[in-house]
Amino acid sequence: MIILKNQDAIRSILKDKKILALVPTMGNLHDGHISLIKHAKKHADSIIVSIFVNPIQFNSSDDLKNYPRSIEKDINILKKHGVDILFNPSEKDIYPAKPYLAYELPPLASQLCGSKRPGHFKGVITIIEKLFDLIKPDHVFFGKKDYQQLMLIKQFIFDRKYEITFHSIETVREKDSLALSSRNSLLSKESRLIVPTLYDTLKNAIIELKKFSDIKEVELSAQKKLTDLGWIVDYVEIRRQKDLLKPIDSDKKLVILGAAYYENIRLIDNIEFCTDDS
């Protein structure tokens, strides 16, 4: 595996590559990232993984400081799974000047996670634009755990007319259904026993919705259940799968999304479902 640290090196080595897949990450790799890599191998001749903890998508300096980093372990994982190139740049190399994004984010960017983390998605799309323009991938791979991010990047690709095939990959979970996340490594043993209740609460909310059909009541009930368990809830909302807008009566393909803190660790999750059990 080739490890590259700067943009000039990337431009030089990629100029002769044919079909290229990009898996963007912030490191501290886990089985969710490995799933993305395995899917990428089915579609490309060369796989490039980026590891860059993007400072401009963090809303808290403490969150940025505490974000888990494990570059040596990550390198071993990438080698084991046959990744061709690791791009691991410094902040100075990615942002030699103040970051600027000309793209106007859609209204969705200020909802859900965007309403609780102002500027977060602007930071996400800024780094994605830089990676896309630098690497020029044919395929990109993202996990469904970050459902809102996934939607915004798909829209960005469409709006900017990138010739990139976008792949959304199912969330990988622990045996107790906790969605894999780099932040899971920050959880205490005690917290780790409680945090699967986020997924359980979302799953039970779907059952309640199919019984009672009152979306707002189900959302509020789920929020209360999480609060009673000790979570600090950002939101629990039910939206349409296709665009994350609020559903109308005729919408059948929905997704329930939740974001909450447990002992200062912010976790997110979602479950896609159909109201008619199709």
Topology annotation, domain 2-169: Rossmann fold (3.40.50)
Q: Check residue 117 and report its DSSP letter.
A: S
Whether 209 and 275 have beta carbons less than 8 Å apart is answered as: yes
Q: Could you state, in order of their start, the residue ranges of all structural domains in the chain?
A: 2-169, 182-269
**CATH architecture for segment(s) 182-269:** 2-Layer Sandwich (3.30)
84: pLDDT strictly greater than 70: yes
Is the fold of 2-169 the same as that of 182-269?
no
For strand 139-143 and strand 20-25, is the pairing parallel, antiparallel, or unpaired?
parallel
Rounded CA separation 232/228 (Å): 9
Q: Which residues are catalytic?
A: 33
pLDDT value of position 276:
82
The distance from CA 155 to its chain's CA centroid, rounded to whole angstroms, is 15
Residue 56, SS3 per DSSP: helix
| Mean pLDDT of the region 116-129 | 97
Residue 125's contacts (CB-CB under 8 Å, 6 or more residues apart) are 101, 103, 105, 109, 152, 153, 156
pLDDT value of position 16:
78
Number of H helices, E strands in the chain: 11, 9
Rounded CA separation 265/257 (Å): 17
Rounded CA separation 175/155 (Å): 33
Rounded CA separation 36/250 (Å): 33
Share of the chain above pLDDT 70, in %: 99
pLDDT value of position 278:
55
| Residue among 156, 4, 7, 14 at smallest CA distance from 95 | 7
Query: Model confidence over 29-71: pLDDT tens digits?
Result: 999 999 999 999 999 999 999 999 999 999 999 999 999 999 9
Copy the structure tokens of residue 70.
């494990």
| Residue among 226, 69, 41, 31 at smallest CA distance from 145 | 31
Share of the chain above pLDDT 90, in %: 94
- Confidence category of residue 236, pLDDT binned at 50, 70, 90: very high
pTM: 0.95
pLDDT value of position 140:
98
Query: Model confidence over 241-271: pLDDT tens digits?
Result: 999 999 998 999 999 999 999 999 999 999 9
pLDDT value of position 212:
82
Helix (H) or strand (E) holding 166: strand 165-169
Phi, psi of 131 (to 5 degrees): -65, -40
| Residue among 79, 51, 89, 78 at smallest CA distance from 67 | 51
